[in-house]
Amino acid sequence: MCASVKYNIRGPALIPRMKTKHRIYYITLFSIVLLGLIATGMFQFWPHSIESSNDWNVEKRSIRDVPVVRLPADSPIPERGDLSCRMHTCFDVYRCGFNPKNKIKVYIYALKKYVDDFGVSVSNTISREYNELLMAISDSDYYTDDINRACLFVPSIDVLNQNTLRIKETAQAMAQLSRWDRGTNHLLFNMLPGGPPDYNTALDVPRDRALLAGGGFSTWTYRQGYDVSIPVYSPLSAEVDLPEKGPGPRQYFLLSSQVGLHPEYREDLEALQVKHGESVLVLDKCTNLSEGVLSVRKRCHKHQVFDYPQVLQARWFWEAYFQSIKAIALATLQIINDRIYPYAAISYEEWNDPPAVKWGSVSNPLFLPLIPPQSQGFTAIVLTYDRVESLFRVITEVSKVPSLSKLLVVWNNQNKNPPEDSLWPKIRVPLKVVRTAENKLSNRFFPYDEIETEAVLAIDDDIIMLTSDELQFGYEVWREFPDRLVGYPGRLHLWDHEMNKWKYESEWTNEVSMVLTGAAFYHKYFNYLYTYKMPGDIKNWVDAHMNCEDIAMNFLVANVTGKAVIKVTPRKKFKCPECTAIDGLSLDQTHMVERSECINKFASVFGTMPLKVVEHRADPVLYKDDFPEKLKSFPNIGSL
């Protein structure tokens, strides 16, 4: 800014000795170029918004303009359905090739109108539902318009309702599809199969190896693991607005709404109704509806009229998989997808548990009850910056613990090299120093390859008060509770009614809901979870604030296991013998405020308060019992 002002004052400094005519010429030229550049730049940004609009790619045509295909009377007919078909015999899985996303690609044939030799059409063009179904597939992630990359082919020939079809000709139309190949990897959707006289339970159109997603299969027509059994969609359900179901039990314990029931069954049901009264409701067709009322939307019990299907009070399954054509189509494709990529399949619970159950429950990643053998031992991980003297003291103390199998020092100081090898204390187990790239607190929870045991002891470089007995006992306790945080410094979270938020508490109370990872045992899997699966921005937030990594770990473990921590031994002072009740740092008022903030922050990110409060701690069986000290396994336990 300043510079240009200066030049302006001094006149034409840029082109000092040019003639005025030239000067004007140059300035004009320059302005044109400048304008052009600006215009181009703007142009670069504008057109994108036009291009990204949705309608750009979608064809808009009339259904009457589709190409007509004439089927000669003698064109080939596929074989009847092969009842022995299974995925490994009739399905060409090579077409599904390698797909890093484990998602099949589905191609939809273009819509055509088929006519016979006399020009009479073979079927109605396409039904509203089949159009909706193909649209749903086309809008999904499964869709591809590249026939060469497709793993599954969906003909646009509508066979939802067998009654509307000319069976032989429909089959001929299938057979002439460009990739038909005996129907391999072709998927047909049918909801109303069969016809007089034998009312078959599967589509009668000869279809060879094609997969059938059918409504109304019987166990004899359904090819286990090959066909897909789908619900029969009711066009009526599109307009149904179900009332919200309130809490508490439903009005009817048992309800039958089926019409055309076999008389024997109906008698039984009505007997039930007589016996149980109000809680059982047996409905039938209405006989005396006034004009203009759609009979399929009503059901009657004697003279009482009920809205149908609202009276059913259907819920989760219906909403998830039955309510719309789209839901039916996508569930069908997901089922086939799960068969082709079984290792990426959706679990039983994901299919079946309503969202409320999914939210309320936890699935412990370490669910198998198992006490790991003592011989495995544990790996101690000491996070340090530059307190070498204190660090060496901690190393010396920890190395006395019989079950220690390795010691890992995480050197978090990038400006200073760790001491030379010769200066480190000589200990009986391997000692490894890991240098970090950045001074971050999350480095202490990184799943280092060097960790070979399942048990990890996280310990600060200033925790010098813990005795070998206390640490060994802590490891024994961890073995009995390998899915929990087992630690020494216990803390509590409390609800502050005045401030209406969570509060951190480090007083010596009767309750515990956290143990600090300044000295705690836990399973190394939680390192993986902390590093890669921590919800929201917590991990970065902790690194940025240089605080609360221990509280974050407590939240993480409690949230994933649903279990409380275990505080071991009475120990409450960790840093030096002369320290007062609570360690100096913790007394700091701002420290307490920050820690409380962490709890509130984490609770909002987790969307819940996962910490569990307990009133117990773990002591050795004979702790403070009237029993000879020398016979106790862990005599050196007990001081604060």
Partner 1 sequence: MQSWRRRKSLWLALSASWLLLVLLGGFSLLRLALPPRPRPGASQGWPRWLDAELLQSFSQPGELPEDAVSPPQAPHGGSCNWESCFDTSKCRGDGLKVFVYPAVGTISETHRRILASIEGSRFYTFSPAGACLLLLLSLDAQTGECSSMPLQWNRGRNHLVLRLHPAPCPRTFQLGQAMVAEASPTVDSFRPGFDVALPFLPEAHPLRGGAPGQLRQHSPQPGVALLALEEERGGWRTADTGSSACPWDGRCEQDPGPGQTQRQETLPNATFCLISGHRPEAASRFLQALQAGCIPVLLSPRWELPFSEVIDWTKAAIVADERLPLQVLAALQEMSPARVLALRQQTQFLWDAYFSSVEKVIHTTLEVIQDRIFGTSAHPSLLWNSPPGALLALSTFSTSPQDFPFYYLQQGSRPEGRFSALIWVGPPGQPPLKLIQAVAGSQHCAQILVLWSNERPLPSRWPETAVPLTVIDGHRKVSDRFYPYSTIRTDAILSLDARSSLSTSEVDFAFLVWQSFPERMVGFLTSSHFWDEAHGGWGYTAERTNEFSMVLTTAAFYHRYYHTLFTHSLPKALRTLADEAPTCVDVLMNFIVAAVTKLPPIKAPGGPGPRPKPPAPAPDCINQIAAAFGHMPLLSSRLRLDPVLFKDPVSVQRKKYRSLEKP
Give yes or no for residue 622 binding partner 1 (CB under 8 A). Answer: yes
Of 454, 392, 380, 379, the C-alpha closest to 418 is: 392
C-beta closer to partner 1: residue 52 or 415: 52
Piece of 35-43, 301-309, 400-408, 438-446 that binds partner 1 (CB under 8 A): 35-43
Residues 49, 178, 219, 580: which binds partner 1 (CB under 8 A)?
A: 219
CB of 532 to partner 1, least distance (A): 9
- Which residues 162-201 are close enough to bind partner 1 by CB under 8 A? 163-164, 191-192, 199
CB-CB contact of 437 with 367 (8 Å): no
CB of 588 to partner 1, least distance (A): 22
Residues 31, 124, 200, 604: which binds partner 1 (CB under 8 A)?
A: 124
CB of 341 to partner 1, least distance (A): 8
DSSP, residue by residue, 272-310: HHHHHGGGEEE-B--SSPPTT--GGGEEEETTEEEETTG
CB of 290 to partner 1, least distance (A): 17
Give yes or no for residue 234 binding partner 1 (CB under 8 A). Answer: yes
Give yes or no for residue 505 binding partner 1 (CB under 8 A). Answer: no
CB of 369 to partner 1, least distance (A): 4
C-beta closer to partner 1: residue 417 or 633: 633
Residues 564, 598, 599, 637: which binds partner 1 (CB under 8 A)?
A: 564
Give yes or no for residue 88 binding partner 1 (CB under 8 A). Answer: yes
C-beta closer to partner 1: residue 495 or 627: 627
H or E stretch covering 591: helix 589-606
Phi, psi of 575 (to 5 degrees): -95, -45
- Per DSSP, the three-state class of 427 is coil
CB of 75 to partner 1, least distance (A): 25
Piece of 212-220, 398-406, 435-443, 598-606 that binds partner 1 (CB under 8 A): 212-220
Residues 270, 496, 511, 543: which binds partner 1 (CB under 8 A)?
A: 511
Amino acid at 119: G
Per-position x/- string for 516-545, each x denoting binding to partner 1 as judged by CB under 8 A, each - no binding? -------xxx--x----x------------
Piece of 91-99, 205-213, 299-307, 415-423 that binds partner 1 (CB under 8 A): 91-99
- Which residues 249-278 are close enough to bind partner 1 by CB under 8 A? 259-262, 264-265
Piece of 4-12, 310-318, 353-361, 426-434 that binds partner 1 (CB under 8 A): 353-361
Q: Output the six-digit token pair for 123.
A: 């079927």
- Which residues 271-330 are close enough to bind partner 1 by CB under 8 A? 294-296
CB of 470 to partner 1, least distance (A): 13
Residues 1, 101, 197, 220: which binds partner 1 (CB under 8 A)?
A: 220
Give yes or no for residue 494 binding partner 1 (CB under 8 A). Answer: no
Q: DSSP code of 628?
A: -
Give yes or no for residue 629 binding partner 1 (CB under 8 A). Answer: no
C-beta closer to partner 1: residue 276 or 285: 285
Q: Output the six-digit token pair for 44.
A: 């670069």
- Per DSSP, the three-state class of 410 is strand
CB of 387 to partner 1, least distance (A): 29
Total count of residues recorded for the chain? 640
Residue 182's contacts (CB-CB under 8 Å, 6 or more residues apart) are: 78, 79, 208, 209
Residues 71, 85, 106, 134: which binds partner 1 (CB under 8 A)?
A: 134
DSSP, residue by residue, 148-195: TT-SEEE-S---SBGGG--HHHHHHHHHTSTT-GGGTTBEEEESB---
- Which residues 388-447 are close enough to bind partner 1 by CB under 8 A? none
285-289 long-range contacts, Cβ below 8 Å, gap at least 24? Answer: 285/259, 285/260
Residues 561, 596, 611, 637: which binds partner 1 (CB under 8 A)?
A: 561
CB of 401 to partner 1, least distance (A): 15
What value, to the nearest 5°, has the Cα angle with vertex 123 and ends 118 and 129? 160
Give yes or no for residue 562 binding partner 1 (CB under 8 A). Answer: yes
What value, to the nearest 5°, has the Cα angle with vertex 515 and ends 514 and 517? 130
Piece of 32-40, 395-403, 548-556, 586-594 that binds partner 1 (CB under 8 A): 32-40
Residue 597's contacts (CB-CB under 8 Å, 6 or more residues apart) are: none
Backbone region of residue 607 per phi and psi (left: phi > 0; alpha: psi in -120 to 50; beta: other values): left
C-beta closer to partner 1: residue 33 or 544: 33
Amino acid at 108: I
Give yes or no for residue 476 binding partner 1 (CB under 8 A). Answer: yes
Burial class (CB in 10 A: 0-12, 13-18, 19+), 208: buried
508-513 long-range contacts, Cβ below 8 Å, gap at least 24? Answer: 508/572, 508/581, 510/615, 511/613, 511/614, 511/615, 512/564, 512/565, 512/567, 512/613, 512/614, 512/615, 512/617, 513/554, 513/564, 513/565, 513/611, 513/612, 513/613, 513/614
Give yes or no for residue 127 binding partner 1 (CB under 8 A). Answer: yes
